[in-house]
Structure 1
């Protein structure tokens, strides 16, 4: 990302990444399976954690960030990125059978 690759969105400047940055601190180990916004990237990156612990990382299109509340990329003004970790528990409804067992 170049210094010029910033998008100003109200009081917050969002990066305009062209690829998922290397060396992010987010790791799927010790997390349940699901979709996770990455506040380290102002939520422009999101991670998919599989039940096996395998991790895949994705980039939202420029101008959008990952909404943990609805688990999709959305316009920046609809997302409260700093509070995304407070919503990580919504992933608890994923990957479970009808009896609530992890599949």
Structure 2
């Protein structure tokens, strides 16, 4: 029993040492889970991050994929834009208005997503709400669920 315990401990330590020794690679854009094509079909890799931080719907993939963009300053004064891609759950799409995955009837139409990219500029700003009354009015006019029932913002 002691020998088996030693073997397991030794194996675990070896695996940890190998994992630490391997160089870490940064996550690439469109590095998505296996089987993504069963949910999305053929993934179009046309989206590139703008030179700004935020969450962005991928319109070319019917908003089933979204990207987190992160601008990182470098020592030489230039910047690098990191792009991380994510898949929304089955039967959901990225809602650029709420910056979440939602049922299509609860989301702005995918084709209108770029009209709401400006909301990213408000993330992290103190004393600034993500949405103002004008944003709410624009959204309720195009969100399918609110077309069926009256809604007052």
Do Structure 1 and Structure 2 share a fold, with TM-score over 0.5? yes
* 8 Å CA contact 2:48, 2:83 repeated in 1: yes
Is there any run of 5+ residues in structure 1 with no aligned partner, and where? 6-15, 99-103
Report what 2:77 is aligned to: none
Question: Rg: which structure is higher?
Answer: 2
Q: What SS is found at the alignment partner of 2:112?
A: helix
Task: Give the superposition deviation at 1:95.
Answer: 4.4
Correspondence 1:18-57 to 2 at 5 A:
21=43, 23-28=44-49, 30-52=50-72, 53-57=81-85
* 8 Å CA contact 1:38, 1:47 repeated in 2: yes
CA RMSD of aligned residues (A): 2.4
Is there any run of 5+ residues in structure 2 with no aligned partner, and where? 1-36, 73-80, 127-153
Task: Give the superposition deviation at 1:67.
Answer: 0.3
- More helix per residue: 2
TM-score by length of 1: 0.70
Task: Give the superposition deviation at 1:51.
Answer: 2.0
Equivalent pairs, count: 83
Task: Give the superposition deviation at 1:32.
Answer: 1.1
Task: Give the superposition deviation at 1:88.
Answer: 0.4
TM-score by length of 2: 0.48
Measured in 1, the distance between the counterparts of 2:51 and 2:111 equals: 19
